[in-house]
Amino acid sequence: MTKIRIGPFDYIYLEKDNLETKDGISVVGEIRYNDLEIHVEKGLLPSKRIHTLLHEVFHGILNNMSRDDLCEDETFVDCFSLNVLQFMRDNPTLVTQMIRDIQK
């Protein structure tokens, strides 16, 4: 079981089959604020899994910031997470160095 800290909250990260919203809509990821869980569809390709995880983490960050306007804007969250993923893919040496520096 993997934990992801978003602000003061520790979320449990789970990969699950056949994710659906409470309305029965099929999704590839979801964040449950009250349960402190992030779910990502099991079996996604690595880049899609990472994008989906980033997407849900950014929902959590925006929720912590009380930015419901942005948190509920799926286009914004999706574009932002895609751009962060692209930054990570295009700059792996820098990302690795940033991680090393923050752990010092």
pLDDT per residue, tens digit, the chain (104 aa), is 899 999 999 999 999 999 987 788 889 999 999 999 999 999 999 999 999 999 999 999 999 999 999 999 999 999 999 999 999 999 999 999 999 999 98
Q: Where do we find the tokens 């990821």?
A: 29
| Helix, strand or coil, per DSSP, at residue 5 | strand
Domain total of the chain: 1
Distances in Å between the alpha carbon of 5 and those of 44, 58, 75? 22, 12, 24
Confidence at residue 44, expressed as pLDDT on a 0 to 100 scale = 96
What CATH number is associated with residue 55?
1.10.10
In the chain, the amino acid numbered 102 is I
pLDDT in tens, 25-50: 889 999 999 999 999 999 999 999 99
The parent domain of residue 90 ranges over 2-102
